[in-house]
Chain A
Amino acid sequence: MLTVENLSVSFVTRMGTTQAVDDVSFNVKSGEITAIIGESGSGKSVACYSLLGLVPQPPGRIDSGRALFEGTDLLQLGESDLRKIRGRDIAMVFQDPMTCLNPYMTIGKQLMEPLRLHGKVSHADARHRALELLQEVGIRDPGSTFDNFPHQFSGGMRQRVMVAMALINEPKLLIADEPTTALDVTIQAQILKLLAELQQRRNIGIIFISHDLSVVADIADQIVVMEQGRVVEHGNREAIFENASHPYTRKLLSAIPTGANPHTVEGGDTLIRVQNLHTWFTENRETVKAVDDVSFEIRRGEVLGLVGESGSGKSTIGRSILRLVPVTSGTVSFDGTNLTALSRSAMTSMRQRMQIIFQDPFASLNPRMTIFDTLAEPLLLHGIENRRSVAQAVLQLMDKVGLARQFARKYPHEFSGGQRQRIAIGRALATRPEFVVADEPVSALDVTIQAQILELLHELGREEGLTMLFISHDLAVVRQVADRIIVLHEGKIVEQAQAETLFQQPQESYTQQLLKSIPGRSIRT
């Protein structure tokens, strides 16, 4: 149905020309899901957007290639002809349903728009069709939500609306760009299932763009692996997962977190005791019970995994322990000291012993401080080093987290995501803390980088005898690093157990549901 041959796209800026897509060929058959896999910057999205004229030119430039869609070369079409194909024959679903729907327009209007645009359809017919589709993608009671605005829907519901919007003109090809990356695992599982069902029922072709091989492991028919603008390998699912020949594909496959933490520890005495913790927020005069009566212990030297979907309160627990958010009631004691009763100044000196690593290494480093200053700050603040000795200590810290010493005078924007997370880890470990909260430390990173950072955390943790609270929405990742796991749901603890016990014999139905939602079970077992 779609045959792309020798497609090359580059970006021409004042800084020079970048080859984003380099001689890429692939084809998509109707009734099949073709997955395009690659890490950020691999050109996977640009390749697909350029087919539909959605890459702004300039700076974009299509250098060569053909894209035959039912006999027509899309790359030779003018804007007005392409427009007739967009949204009618080829539709798209994007990554972040939070930002991809117009916040100023009701979802009903947005849904009907492509239908009214491409065909002569009356308002009543369009509405009828839109309601039908909403039902089909699993929106309950579409009639009453039709005139709601996007912010009144959850992320998963919005993505369903996006899917309905893409399907409303019965396209022959659907391009889904990371359609589940911004969603919780259980929602991701639902959307993946929905896409697979729709593709079967309607016999359409789907291009599924993703950075994560495990996501497409259960649904893709064909897999195209891209690296730095080039296709390095393509084949059907079995060929890729069982006989990958290119080293990069093998690297991607080995980066998929599989199996358990190989060296679990029992942990020593209790370092942290959380008792009846409540952290409530008031939003628009409504109380949100982010953490609702949670009690647990963390033993010295162990890695406790805290797992839950967005809104489960997992990050709030981490921040409550460090007193980064005000606690409503309950106590947190650290090595016998009740932190919730400490004065501000006493807490400051305690902070040296406990640190946090945040999710987004792009946002959590001060862009106006060099790496040297970022790493030196906690050392000087807590009086661990003086002005003269600090340089040596910073360089040693950089060695420890795997950053070359000559980077010391650079600013955060000069680093990649993985390097920035190394800096953030270095900053957290500077004061030689006993306890570290790692709040989704790898979820903003590419899979191969994710594997490296997990490895680093694991090594450093063992070396320093660190106690860690590892917060993540990704069960496979937690399984790899944690000794013990707590599952959270809506601010309450659902289940806690030794890591492998939890995975082998989950007791609660919510835990079972979470485990079932992990994508790529076919490759993990």
Chain B
Amino acid sequence: MWRFVGIRLLQAIPVILAVITVTFFLVRVAPGGPFDGEKAVVPEVKAALEAQYRLDLPLWQQYTAYLGDLAQGDLGPSFKYPGRSVNELIASGLPITAELGFYALLIAVLIGGLAGVIASLKPNTAQDYIPMSAAMIGICMPSFLLGPILLLVFGIYLEWLPVSGWGDLPGDKILPAITLGSTYAAYVARLSRAGMLEVLSQDYIRTARAKGLPEWQVVVRHALRGGMMPVVAFLGPAFAGVLSGSFVVETIFGIPGLGRFYVQAAFNRDYTMILGTTVFLSTLIVLFNLLSDILAAWMNPRLRQQFSKG
């Protein structure tokens, strides 16, 4: 197993290096720079700023210097938040985004999984069509549409839940988590339905029925584990997707998470911040994919055995 993990981590290095390189040069190719504003800055001041942030060096030297810092875990200073490093900014936004992502995925797995299982039990009947149509709507509905609708209905008309903020008022985490989780719930529903349908047609399910097990026990004891395998494999990419995709929800609900920093950094040409967040998120994506692969392998007895061997 450690061999497998080691190989996968080694494979990740060129991927992340490519991400860094492409992002590094792309942000610099994009028009405008971090110190171009509506108000003209005195040339001397601008030169001093550029010297401080190493922007006066040739591009390749900037690149190697950045890589050198990165190797030591230093993502550099933020251009737009003077005196604060990118590491600090990520560290302040990450816990909030991670918490939001966790709730969102929890909702996705619980609601989506349940809907998928229910649908799979009576395929091509109303019990299947209704949750699956809802899932289809969930996939099609963008969060910038769903968020404001939920806000209007539950925040403004019904006044049941707060409309913005994070951790200030009771219940202010509910709407953002639902908004962010709904798309993933829809995907989970479709994956778990397909997985369950596949497993329910297996011969060993017939064996379980022939033993006289009640249907719910057939489903829970014999089918669920195999049927949820596609969902497990999806969780890693989904969590990474939730982290990097949370900026819309964070913006709608005014949440000071990682996503908002990311978007602002792009508007501000905050080179180090863009790079830092990109590197950080792509590392997370690689790690979470690896984690869900390990989890999926561990859930399969045959693979688990091979894993523990080597």
Which A residues form the contact surface with B (CB < 8 A)?
52, 54, 80, 83-88, 91-92, 94, 96, 99-105, 113-114, 117-118, 149, 151-152, 162, 165, 284-285
Known: A87-B210, A117-B211. 9 other contacts (CB 8 A): A83-B212, A83-B213, A83-B214, A86-B210, A88-B212, A103-B204, A103-B301, A113-B213, A285-B310
B residues near A118, Cβ cutoff 8 Å: 212
**Cβ of B202 under 8 Å from chain A:** yes
Main secondary structure of the interface of B (DSSP, over half): helix
Report which residue of A86, A96, A100, A104 has the largest number of chain B beta carbons within 10 angstroms of its beta carbon.
A104
Q: How far is the CB of B197 from chain A (nearest CB, A)?
A: 13
11 contacts between A and B (CB under 8 A): A84-B212, A86-B209, A86-B210, A101-B204, A102-B208, A103-B204, A104-B300, A104-B301, A117-B211, A149-B301, A284-B309
Query: A102 to B204, Cβ gap below 8 A?
Result: yes
Query: B301 to A99, Cβ gap below 8 A?
Result: no
A100: contacting residue among B204, B212, B300, B301, CB under 8 A: B204
Give Cα A328–Cα B79 distance, bound, in whole angstroms.
Answer: 62
Query: A92 to B210, Cβ gap below 8 A?
Result: yes
Q: Kindly list the 10 A-B residue pairs having the minimum CB-CB distance in the complex, ordered from nearest.
A: A87-B212, A87-B211, A86-B212, A149-B301, A99-B203, A92-B210, A114-B211, A102-B204, A100-B203, A104-B225
Q: How far is the CB of B125 from chain A (nearest CB, A)?
A: 10
Q: Closest chain B residue to A115 by CB distance?
A: B211
Query: A100 to B209, Cβ gap below 8 A?
Result: no
Query: A101 to B207, Cβ gap below 8 A?
Result: yes
Q: How far is the CB of A56 from chain B (nearest CB, A)?
A: 10
B residues near A149, Cβ cutoff 8 Å: 301-302, 305
A residues near B221, Cβ cutoff 8 Å: 105, 113
Give Cα A165–Cα B305 distance, bound, in whole angstroms.
Answer: 24
Q: How far is the CB of B276 from chain A (nearest CB, A)?
A: 41
**Cβ of B80 under 8 Å from chain A:** no
B residues near A114, Cβ cutoff 8 Å: 211-212
Query: A103 to B302, Cβ gap below 8 A?
Result: yes
Give Cα A400–Cα B217 distance, bound, in whole angstroms.
Answer: 55
A residues near B302, Cβ cutoff 8 Å: 103, 149, 151
Query: B202 to A104, Cβ gap below 8 A?
Result: no
Q: Closest chain A residue to B202 by CB distance?
A: A99
B residues near A86, Cβ cutoff 8 Å: 209-212
Query: B301 to A113, Cβ gap below 8 A?
Result: no
Give Cα A151–Cα B212 distance, bound, in whole angstroms.
Answer: 24
Give Cα A184–Cα B299 distance, bound, in whole angstroms.
Answer: 31
B residues near A54, Cβ cutoff 8 Å: 206, 209-210
Give Cα A126–Cα B38 distance, bound, in whole angstroms.
Answer: 81
Q: How far is the CB of A43 from chain B (nearest CB, A)?
A: 17
**Cβ of B127 under 8 Å from chain A:** no
- What does the 1/0 interface line of B288-310 toward A look like (CB < 8 Å)? 00000000000111100110011
B residues near A88, Cβ cutoff 8 Å: 212
Give Cα A152–Cα B309 distance, bound, in whole angstroms.
Answer: 14
Report which residue of B203, B211, B213, B217 has the largest number of chain A beta carbons within 10 angstroms of its beta carbon.
B211
Q: Closest chain B residue to A114 by CB distance?
A: B211
Q: How far is the CB of A148 from chain B (nearest CB, A)?
A: 9
Q: How far is the CB of B303 from chain A (nearest CB, A)?
A: 10
B residues near A152, Cβ cutoff 8 Å: 305
Q: How far is the CB of A392 from chain B (nearest CB, A)?
A: 45
Give Cα A412–Cα B281 distance, bound, in whole angstroms.
Answer: 49
Provided the pairs A94-B206, A284-B309, A285-B310 are in contact, do residues A103 and B226 lie with their beta carbons within 8 angstroms?
Answer: yes
B residues near A151, Cβ cutoff 8 Å: 301-302, 305
A117: contacting residue among B212, B300, B301, CB under 8 A: B212
Q: How far is the CB of A257 from chain B (nearest CB, A)?
A: 29
A residues near B310, Cβ cutoff 8 Å: 284-285
Give Cα A103–Cα B227 distance, bound, in whole angstroms.
Answer: 12
- What does the 1/0 interface line of B189-220 toward A look like (CB < 8 Å)? 00000000000001110111111111001000
- What does the 1/0 interface line of B113-124 toward A look like (CB < 8 Å)? 000000000000
Report which residue of B209, B214, B221 has the largest number of chain A beta carbons within 10 angstroms of its beta carbon.
B209
Q: How far is the CB of B212 from chain A (nearest CB, A)?
A: 4
Give Cα A162–Cα B207 distance, bound, in whole angstroms.
Answer: 9
- What does the 1/0 interface line of B72-110 toward A look like (CB < 8 Å)? 000000000000000000000000000000000000000
Give Cα A54–Cα B202 distance, bound, in whole angstroms.
Answer: 14
Provided the pairs A100-B203, A102-B204, A285-B310 are in contact, do residues A85 and B301 lie with their beta carbons within 8 angstroms?
Answer: no
Report which residue of B202, B222, B301, B310 has the largest number of chain A beta carbons within 10 angstroms of its beta carbon.
B301
Query: A105 to B222, Cβ gap below 8 A?
Result: yes
A residues near B301, Cβ cutoff 8 Å: 103-104, 149, 151
Give Cα A140–Cα B134 distance, bound, in whole angstroms.
Answer: 53
A residues near B213, Cβ cutoff 8 Å: 83, 87, 113, 117
Query: A100 to B206, Cβ gap below 8 A?
Result: yes
Give Cα A102–Cα B204 distance, bound, in whole angstroms.
Answer: 5
A102: contacting residue among B207, B300, B305, CB under 8 A: B207
Query: A113 to B211, Cβ gap below 8 A?
Result: yes
Give Cα A162–Cα B210 distance, bound, in whole angstroms.
Answer: 12
Query: A100 to B211, Cβ gap below 8 A?
Result: no
Q: Closest chain A residue to B3 by CB distance?
A: A285
Give Cα A75–Cα B222 distance, bound, in whole angstroms.
Answer: 26
Query: B306 to A284, Cβ gap below 8 A?
Result: yes
A residues near B214, Cβ cutoff 8 Å: 80, 83
Give Cα A60–Cα B65 distance, bound, in whole angstroms.
Answer: 72
A residues near B225, Cβ cutoff 8 Å: 104
Give Cα A284–Cα B310 distance, bound, in whole angstroms.
Answer: 9
Give Cα A308–Cα B305 distance, bound, in whole angstroms.
Answer: 30
B207: contacting residue among A85, A94, A285, CB under 8 A: A94
B residues near A84, Cβ cutoff 8 Å: 212
Q: How far is the CB of A433 from chain B (nearest CB, A)?
A: 38
Q: Closest chain B residue to A91 by CB distance?
A: B210
Query: B210 to A52, Cβ gap below 8 A?
Result: yes
B residues near A96, Cβ cutoff 8 Å: 203
Q: How far is the CB of A89 from chain B (nearest CB, A)?
A: 9
A residues near B222, Cβ cutoff 8 Å: 102, 105
Give Cα A228–Cα B303 distance, bound, in whole angstroms.
Answer: 43
Give Cα A505–Cα B212 distance, bound, in whole angstroms.
Answer: 50
Report which residue of B202, B203, B309 has the largest number of chain A beta carbons within 10 angstroms of its beta carbon.
B203
Q: How far is the CB of A439 from chain B (nearest CB, A)?
A: 25
- What does the 1/0 interface line of B221-233 toward A look like (CB < 8 Å)? 1100110000000
A residues near B210, Cβ cutoff 8 Å: 52, 54, 86-87, 91-92, 94
Give Cα A113–Cα B217 distance, bound, in whole angstroms.
Answer: 11
Give Cα A419–Cα B222 distance, bound, in whole angstroms.
Answer: 38
